[in-house]
Amino acid sequence: MFNRILVVCSGNICRSPLAKILFEKHLPSKQVDSAGLYVASNQLTNRCAHPSAIKVANTVQLDLSNHRAKQISPDLVEASDLILVMSHQHAEQIHLSVKGARSKTLLIGQWLGIGEIEDPICGDAVKFAECFATLEKCVLSWKKRIEVN
């Protein structure tokens, strides 16, 4: 059973925070966290969510104002039942850096046949809205599987 879900992207300021609040909305009984693979190396630790991510979340009354970026760690991986990533590269990076993570690391878009969720970081408001809509479809596809278990 998946009770603790970790959502991972690159910098933990766009995609994974959005996915986290969507999981919290659709699966409120689950513990959901988010992290990034390159937070420390890009000096993003404790950074707020991207302003465009905050805006797109606000359009559906979801709040990212308290989000602070954090680096993925072995402790976060170990504490999670399911780790959902935005790309094949993210999955491979986690597999290489944390022993035992392979069996619980999957693509967030796998049930929709989506291998990569494009990072909207350099995009406009439309790119963020598209990313948000895609992430919501992904979360709903996981909801169907998680609620069954």
Q: What is the pLDDT of residues 32-45, one digit of tens each?
A: 999 999 999 889 89
| Helix, strand, coil % over all residues of the chain, rounded to 5 | 45, 15, 40
The reply to whether 9 belongs to the active site is yes
The single residue of 4, 47, 68, 119 carrying the catalytic annotation is 119
Q: Which candidate in 9, 14, 131, 138 is catalytic?
A: 9
Residue 75 has, within 13 A of its CA and on its CB side, a CA count of 2
pLDDT of residue 1: 84
Domains parsed from the chain with CATH numbers? 4-148 (3.40.50.2300)
Residue ranges of the chain whose pLDDT lies below 70? 148-149
pLDDT of residue 44: 87
Q: What is the per-residue pLDDT across 125-142, written as a single tens digit (0 to 9) for each?
A: 999 999 999 999 999 999
